Structure 1
Amino acid sequence: MQAITAIRSKKLSPEQLFMLSVLAVNGGNYLYNLVLGRLLGPEQFADAAVLITFLLVLSFVAMTFQLVTAKFSVVFENSTFNNFISRIYKNATIVGVILGALVIIGSSQLQQLFHTSTSSMFVIFGFGVPLYFLMSVNRGVYQGKKAFKSLSITYQAEMLSRLLITLGLIFLFEIQSSVVIAIGILISFGFGLIPFKFSTLKLKATQRIAKVESKQVRNFFVITAFYELTQIIINNSDILLVKHYFESYDAGLYASLALIGRIVYFIAWMFVMLLLPTVVQLKKEGKATAPILFKYVGYIAAIASVIVFACALFPETAITILFGDSYLVMAPLLWKYALATGVFAISNIFAYYYLSLDRYVPVIFSGLFGMLQMGLVIFFHESLEQVVHMQIAAMFLLLIFQVSYFIYDSKSKAVKS
């Protein structure tokens, strides 16, 4: 009771409460992955890692709809907003059904490509795809309106249901199967819709959006979709390529490395969620936006530095505590992978900042260096260490280009003024 009273007396802002919620959600997702890694062992965890990676890929694709919804929930008002929401729900549903059908139809080919034990896990996953797109639009409305309490609940409901249902099925029925993991993921999408305002789910708009506004939405959607594609490539291509090129045992080891090393990226994501609506609102009010960029870059750089140093000083301790002795062989690579993801997280803040301002050069940089990273791994994968080194090289080059562009853009503005 004293702790609750202390929290109330400090009167945490909605943004601070949301950040605490995101930390809790990320912690729950980490627990989910860690328990699976310990229960399944490296070989079976490789199959689980493919499903988890598919979930991350889906989240990035659907994030296009969430970010578009979030931005124009700030920009549009009244009837324009209502018509926009109807249109975005309709498009999200269509895309979700198409992508889900493609996953189901291509399940056998996906099994062969990633050497998984069954194709059923892809079929089950495919049925959940449309739900995830509806969930993302719903979250976009809450994000844009800064309804952080409702936004927090959707993330918590998804995480908790997936954790409890999956582990419950494994412990109660003693089934250590990727099918069980797929079922847990599917059900969690339904819980992730909570809270959902069904009154906003109108697939048919009462009137068309004005041509100028429609063009705004379309342009932002296209560039955001492109950027989320680069996120998919940079964040997930390494795990899928390793699963393709290496044996299941090595792929499982690498998946554990990636999970630990990406801590900084998942922490950075909560700042991105706050960044976009804040920058859009500041721009709308004619206020300076650079200070908020400096603030979040400083946060991420500090967090990344701490995590990289911790991974360098205590790699064996971290791996033993989180995954167990079976994964200790990856200890020397832990700080290197954390460095690559830390550098990417900082670069990501620059890209989302300019995306919020309808400036797209940094987004193009991300696309180019995402392809570079993928190409380097395809051509240089003699060992897992070499795969990590390729990612470090690509991400440092990306950060150099992002910072250089910011300096150039700042100087150009100063000359014009």
Structure 2
Amino acid sequence: MLALTKQLKRRITPEQFFMISVFLVNGGNYLYNLVLGRVLGPKAFSDAVILITLLLVLSFIAMTFQLAVAKFTVIFESATLSRFIKMCYTYAVSFALVLGAGVVWFAKDLHAIFRTESHSMFVIFGIAIPIYFIMSVRRGELQGSKDFINLSITYQLEMFTRLALTFLLISMFQISSSIAVAIGIGVSFLAGVFPLKKKQGNVYPTIQLSAKDKKSILNFFILTGCYELTQIICNNSDILLVKHYFPAQEAGLYASLALIGRVVYFVTWMFVMLLLPTVVDKKKKGENTKPVLLKYTGYIIVLACAIVGCTFLFPVFSVQVLFGDAYISIAPLLGWYALATSFFAVSNIFAYYFLSLDHYIPVLIAALMGGLQIVLIVFFHHDLFQVVLMQVLAMGLLLVLQVSYFLLKKNGL
């Protein structure tokens, strides 16, 4: 893999390499989920999906640190940046230790709430959380400095390790599938920390951050943290609510629906990763940032339309190929779920664009629509189709409001 990376590095730009890598990593992650679904069946798969969902929740929380590091890596000069990076590692690890301890402490409660086979999988997951936050700060450094080659490698190492180790444990050892998934996730965090940054001289000088810098950092952390919370709500509340309201069999079927339907979100995530440092850099130079937003929005719309079209035209074929006949009953819901995810993916690029510019209104809009989605599902969950339609309604309204805000700002209102 590393040899191939070096060959590609000489032939294509780092940005192009990162885009190819994202497709590879997303493909690997989807293969991981699809094989798990086929091997375990809907009932056992519903337990594995709880861990996968918690991983997504964790990634959104840690993304607050990654995006903050990425943004201020562009803004700060060398000495100030070094002090800032040290501060981020300190706070990230401290926060992660508290969060991980909380997951371990409440493992039995989580086991009861989500009706899983064992509480041990939550214990293993909680122990691994601090490693994930270290990995996220490291990725923020790479993203902000536009070192997309090494950034790609960290994602590849995490994905390949999780994929290989999980199925090795399931196939060769007599352990619970949920425990195997938890161990695979935990060890993959450790692999994702690499490649490590070589320290040269006094990496963390004694210079202190100014009051203005501290205020700017705090504001961005709060703003980004609030938006990542809304991402957690919009992206994962449906799976957790379905797991709570529906039997394990139906929850497993819905989990497979979510994994297929969310392909548009994960495929388009790379554009968010490229967007933020580019927008911050252009703002710093006093250049127009709107063309960057419009370019990446266009890419996302094209990809979203292609995926949604396929899921509406070939739902049965898609489910059969990806998960098998055991999951065929969710085929009629596939196109609608992909449509809801597409609405969210397009609105997401607008939100991150304004986050880069320190605007808070899009965060508030996303929070309100995320809350609306939960309320709608709580009151309207007669069947899985109704759950999906509630998401289409909430995410469609979210997109309309985000685009409206952009147009208002564009016209100087």
TM-score class, shorter-chain normalisation, is over 0.9
Q: Distance in 1 between matches of 2:203 and 2:57?
A: 25
Structure 2 counterparts to residues 368-387 of structure 1, below 5 A: 368-387=368-387
Amino acid across the alignment from 2:150 = S
- Whether the aligned pair in 1 keeps the contact of 2:82 and 2:204 (CA below 8 Å) is no
Give the letter for the 2:173 counterpart: F
Q: Report the secondary structure of 2:345's partner residue.
A: helix
Secondary structure of 2:199's counterpart equals helix
Instruction: Give matches, 1:398-417, under 5 Å.
Output: 398-412=398-412
Give the distance between the partners of 1:75 and 1:204, measured in 2 at CA.
17
Q: CA deviation at 1:13?
A: 1.2
**Alpha-carbon shift at residue 10 of structure 1 (Å):** 9.4
Give the aligned partner of residue 196 of structure 1: 196
Alpha-carbon distance in structure 2 between the residues aligned to 1:56 and 1:293: 25
Aligned to 1:51: 51
Deviations 1:38-74, CA, capped at 9 Å, x for gaps: 0000000000000000000000000000000000000
User: Normalized against structure 1, the TM-score is what?
Assistant: 0.95
State the match for 1:119 in structure 2.
119
SS at 1:46's partner residue?
helix
Which residue identity lines up with residue 283 of structure 1 in the other structure?
K
Cα displacement string for residues 269-328 of structure 1 (whole angstroms, at most 9, x for unaligned residues): 000000000000011111111111111111111111111110111111110110010000
Tell me what 1:90 maps to. 90
Show the counterpart of 1:184.
184
After superposition, give the CA deviation of every residue in 1:57-96 in whole Å (9 maximum; x if it has no partner). Answer: 0000000000000000000011101100010000000001
Question: Hey, what does 1:73 align to over in structure 2?
Answer: 73
- Aligned residue in 2 for 1:240: 240
8 Å Cα contact 1:86-1:205 kept in structure 2: no
Task: Give the letter for the 2:356 counterpart.
Answer: S
User: Following superposition, which runs of at least 4 residues in structure 1 exceed 4 angstroms of deviation?
Assistant: 7-10, 202-205
- Return the alpha-carbon distance in structure 2 between the equivalents of residues 233 and 79 of structure 1: 37
Contact 1:89–1:203 (Cα < 8 Å) also in 2: no
1:257 maps to what in 2?
Answer: 257
| Structure 2: tracts of 5 or more residues without a match | none
Against the structure 1 CA distance between its residues 211 and 118, is the aligned structure 2 distance closer, same or farther, given a 3 Å change threshold? same
The CA distance in 1 between the partners of 2:360 and 2:164, in whole Å, is 41
AA in 2 matched with 1:55: L
Alignment of 1:155-194 (within 5 A): 155-194=155-194
2:12 aligned with 1:35, yes or no? no
Give the match for residue 145 of structure 2.
Answer: 145
Which residue number in structure 2 is paired with residue 16 of structure 1?
Answer: 16
2:9·2:17 contact (CA, 8 Å) conserved in 1?
no
The one-letter code of the counterpart of 2:400 is I
Give the C-alpha shift of residue 374 in structure 1.
1.0
What does residue 210 of structure 2 align with? 210
Shift of 1:206: 2.6
Q: What is the match of residue 283 of structure 2?
A: 283
Question: What code does the residue aligned with 1:181 have?
Answer: V
Residues 96 and 129 in structure 1, CA contact (< 8 A), matched pair in contact too: yes
Which stretch has the larger CA shift, 213-222 or 359-368? Answer: 359-368
How far did 1:249 drift?
0.2
CA deviations over 1:312-352 (Å, ceiling 9, x no partner): 11111110110010000000000000000001000000000
How many angstroms apart in 1 are the aligned matches of 2:11 and 2:207? Answer: 42
Contact in 2 for aligned 1:87/1:203 (Cα 8 Å): no
Within-5 A mapping of 1:93-112: 93-112=93-112
RMSD: 1.8
Displacement of 1:27 in angstroms is 0.4
Calculate the TM-score normalised by the size of structure 2. Answer: 0.96
Paired residue for 2:136?
Answer: 136
Three-state SS of the structure 2 residue aligned to 1:117 is coil
Structure 1: which 5+ residue stretches go unaligned?
A: none
- The one-letter code matched in structure 2 to 1:329 is S
Shift of 1:203: 11
1:337–1:64 CA distance, 2 compared to 1 (3 A):
same
Give the distance between the partners of 2:376 and 2:208, measured in 1 at CA: 46
Looking at structure 1, the residues matched to 203 and 33 of structure 2 have their Cα atoms a distance apart, in angstroms, of: 36
Match of 2:294 in 1: 294
Aligned CA distance change for structure 1 residues 89 and 343 (closer, same or farther; 3 Å):
same
Q: What amino acid maps onto 1:298 in structure 2? A: G
Contact 1:49–1:255 (8 Å) recurs in 2: yes
- Determine the structure 2 residue equivalent to 1:397: 397
Contact 1:65 1:221 in 2 (8 A): yes
